[in-house]
């Protein structure tokens, strides 16, 4: 499709996504690109009054005069709030835009890089002859599942009303004709009368092919909605107190890249290197950086390992069993020895107190005591580990956790640790 072809913009708050659609040669719109929204403010639901920090929901028309190349927020276009529906319902506010700078107070804020693209797409469409383009702003993707999750929200009647415009676009891939009468939206209406936003609706008709397709879709969605509600689908909170939202890609970029799961194992988030730069004015939703199911704060460190020179670093005091358990956990984290039973510990790692006096008893025969035949007996009573000690040239320094039994060799552990790094 040529760059001058008409565009249409769709916004989904909860998912924090902005879609740009372009018209093809057949007059139908095709999705060109989906942009993650850097920031929107308020809660789900339409804007009611000035100062409520709500970003608008509904159908808005953008003309060339609403494009601002000299915006304080890099580039912007004004949504045109309040529109005919908003004014008919007494809603107030002004200067609500889609702009750059990733900071929002009732607007939809993108990054400067994103806004440069979106602004250029609108400008080229105007150069190509499009008189205005439509912005459809929704609280979320208008699925039965999302409606069921938010079924207790007081904005539900409004959302069901604008869902009809959403359904028409999804079924026809054409910009729905929007009118307002009796303080409500009317879609795809054909009438010779005048639509008065506050007055009585004139007699109008909707093309049969549109009316039939929309009716069938709505019936399917209502059945799914009723089924989900009957099964007790959990409802979302009406107010979160977070003051809006931010696309998960930007949240991931703001959060620490190093995380720990419940077992203390470290992992990294997916790369966010391609996420556009957010600038210096980014203001994430309240509590959003602490809302992960997996906490960004590292878990308490495992028992400390031996130093490279063989000297054991300080470790928490505990029983031999707890030290052995810590070694097993370290082995599993590093991917070896998982599931293998630990070898049985030696009878004793240090000679007991009683054998020591026996080694000092050697001089007694020299004092005249008649016990030369008993001399061979002490070696048999000494444990095997004690008997082997004199044969070793030098004792090997311990390279284990303090208090642990020597079940993992220092060299093997260091080799595997280096390979893991």
Residue 186: per-residue pLDDT: 98
Residue 141: per-residue pLDDT: 98
In DSSP terms, which residues pair with 306 in a beta bridge?
312
Residue 400: per-residue pLDDT: 46
In the chain, the number of structural domains is 2
Asked if residue 318 and residue 210 are part of one domain, the reply reads no
What gap in Å lies between CA 306 and CA 304, rounded to an integer?
A: 7
Could you tell me which of 81, 90, 30, 20 has the C-alpha nearest to residue 54?
81
Contact 112, 279 (CB under 8 A): yes
Distance, first Cα to last Cα, the chain: 50
DSSP 8-state class, residue 245: B
Asked if residue 339 and residue 198 are part of one domain, the reply reads no
Asked if residue 193 and residue 336 are part of one domain, the reply reads no
Asked if residue 336 and residue 196 are part of one domain, the reply reads no
Asked if residue 198 and residue 328 are part of one domain, the reply reads no
Where residue 286 falls among pLDDT bands split at 50, 70, 90?
confident
**215-219, 274-278, 312-316, 395-399: range with highest mean pLDDT:** 215-219
Q: How far is CA 419 from CA 309, 373, 416, in A?
A: 18, 56, 5
Residue 401: per-residue pLDDT: 46
Residue 255: per-residue pLDDT: 78
- Express each pLDDT in 125-166 by its tens digit: 999 999 999 999 999 999 999 999 999 999 999 999 999 999
In DSSP terms, which residues pair with 205 in a beta bridge?
190
Where residue 328 falls among pLDDT bands split at 50, 70, 90?
low
- Express each pLDDT in 375-414 by its tens digit: 444 554 444 444 445 454 555 444 444 444 454 444 444 4
Tokens of 79: 């949504």
Where residue 415 falls among pLDDT bands split at 50, 70, 90?
very low
In DSSP terms, which residues pair with 184 in a beta bridge?
181
Residue 367: per-residue pLDDT: 41
Q: What is the pTM of this model?
A: 0.67
* Least confident segment among 110-114, 217-221, 300-304: 300-304
End position of a domain, from candidates 230, 263, 293? 230
Residue 261: per-residue pLDDT: 53
Range of 419's domain?
Answer: 302-343+396-421
Judge whether 107 counts as a catalytic residue.
Answer: yes
In a domain, 334, yes or no: yes
Where residue 287 falls among pLDDT bands split at 50, 70, 90?
confident
The residues near 97 (Cβ < 8 Å, ≥ 6 apart) are: 68, 71, 73, 76, 77, 78, 79, 107, 108
In a domain, 377, yes or no: no
Tokens of 59: 């159908």
H/E stretch holding 85: helix 84-88
Cβ-based burial of 317 (10 A; exposed 0-12, middle 13-18, buried ≥19): exposed
> What CATH code is carried by the domain that includes residue 159?
2.40.440.10
Q: What is the mean pLDDT of residues 98-107?
A: 93
In a domain, 150, yes or no: yes
Judge whether 150 counts as a catalytic residue.
Answer: no
Asked if residue 190 and residue 60 are part of one domain, the reply reads yes
- Express each pLDDT in 229-252 by its tens digit: 999 999 999 999 999 999 999 998
Q: Which of 99, 102, 150, 181 is catalytic?
A: 99
End position of a domain, from candidates 186, 209, 230? 230
End position of a domain, from candidates 184, 201, 230? 230
Residue 40 clears pLDDT 60, i.e. is over it: yes
Q: Which of 38, 102, 107, 181 is catalytic?
A: 107
In DSSP terms, which residues pair with 52 in a beta bridge?
none
């Amino acid at each position: 499709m040529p760059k001058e072809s008409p565009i249409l913009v769709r916004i989904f708050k909860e998912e924090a996504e902005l879609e740009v659609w372009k018209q093809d040669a057949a007059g139908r719109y095709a999705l060109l690109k989906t942009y993650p929204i850097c920031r929107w403010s308020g809660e789900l639901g339409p804007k009611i009054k000035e100062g409520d920090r709500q970003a608008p929901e509904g159908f808005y028309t953008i003309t060339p005069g609403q494009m601002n190349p000299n915006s304080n927020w890099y580039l912007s276009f004004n949504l045109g709030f309040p529109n005919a529906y908003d004014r008919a319902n007494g809603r107030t506010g002004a200067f609500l835009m889609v702009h750059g700078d990733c900071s929002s107070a009732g607007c939809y804020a993108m990054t400067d890089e994103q806004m440069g693209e979106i602004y250029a797409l609108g400008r080229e469409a105007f150069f190509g002859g499009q008189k205005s383009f439509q912005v459809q702003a929704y609280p979320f993707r208008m699925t039965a599942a999302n409606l069921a999750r938010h079924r207790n929200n007081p904005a539900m009647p409004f959302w069901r009303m604008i869902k009809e415009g959403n359904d028409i676009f999804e079924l026809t891939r054409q910009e729905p004709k929007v009118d307002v009468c009796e303080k409500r939206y009317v879609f795809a209406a054909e009438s010779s009368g005048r639509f008065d936003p506050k007055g009585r609706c004139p007699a109008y008709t909707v093309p049969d092919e549109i009316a039939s397709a929309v009716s069938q879709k709505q019936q399917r969605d209502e059945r799914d909605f009723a089924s989900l509600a009957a099964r007790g689908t959990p409802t979302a909170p009406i107010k979160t107190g977070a003051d809006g939202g931010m696309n998960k890609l930007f949240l991931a970029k703001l959060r620490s890249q190093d995380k720990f799961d419940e077992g203390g194992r470290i992992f990294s988030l997916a790369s966010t290197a391609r996420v556009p730069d957010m600038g210096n004015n980014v203001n994430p939703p309240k509590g959003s950086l602490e809302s992960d199911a997996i906490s960004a704060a590292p878990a308490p460190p495992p028992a400390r390992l031996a130093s490279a020179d063989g000297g054991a670093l300080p470790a928490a005091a505990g029983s031999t069993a707890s030290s052995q358990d810590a070694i097993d956990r370290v082995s599993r984290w590093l991917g070896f020895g998982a599931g293998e039973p630990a070898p049985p510990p030696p009878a004793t790692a240090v000679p007991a107190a009683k054998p020591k006096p026996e080694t000092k008893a050697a001089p007694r025969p020299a004092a005249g005591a008649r016990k030369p035949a008993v001399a061979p007996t002490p070696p048999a009573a000494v444990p095997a580990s004690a008997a082997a000690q004199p044969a070793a040239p030098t004792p090997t320094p311990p390279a284990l956790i303090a208090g642990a039994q020597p079940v993992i060799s220092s060299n093997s552990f260091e080799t595997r640790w280096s390979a893991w790094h």
